[in-house]
Amino acid sequence: MSAHIFINRRKIDVPGGSMTGEQILGAGEYGPDYNLFLLQGEGDPSGGAPVGRDQSLEVKNGMHFRAIPGNANFGHSGH
């Protein structure tokens, strides 16, 4: 039973059922350097709950995720 999920507001078709964070990122063509967050609907003000690479989720139609590069420093140059 396939499902449509959204990663960074982009619609992705996945097999559905139980998937790991790594499989979800892979479905969206995000590499291993990305972190995954589960959103409570589009525009979740909390920023989402972290999903571990080996954490399994029951993937359902319409779920929203955010993928953020693991090295993101949000504008801090470090100089």
Q: Which CATH topology does 3-69 take?
A: Ubiquitin-like (UB roll) (3.10.20)
Q: Which of 1, 9, 19 is nearest to 67 (CA)?
A: 9
Buried b (16+ CB within 10 A) or exposed e, 28-65: bebeeebbbbbbeeeeeeeebeebeeeeebebeeebbb
User: Residue 76: pLDDT above 60?
Assistant: no
What is the reported pLDDT for 73? 59
Taking only the tens place, the pLDDT of each residue in 31-72 is 989 999 999 977 788 889 999 999 999 999 999 999 999 876
What is the reported pLDDT for 75? 56
- Domain regions of the chain by residue span: 3-69
Beta strands in the chain (DSSP E): 3-7, 10-14, 17-20, 34-39, 49-51, 56-59, 64-69
Average pLDDT on 1-21 reads 94
Lowest average pLDDT, out of 4-8, 17-21, 33-37, 67-71, goes to 67-71
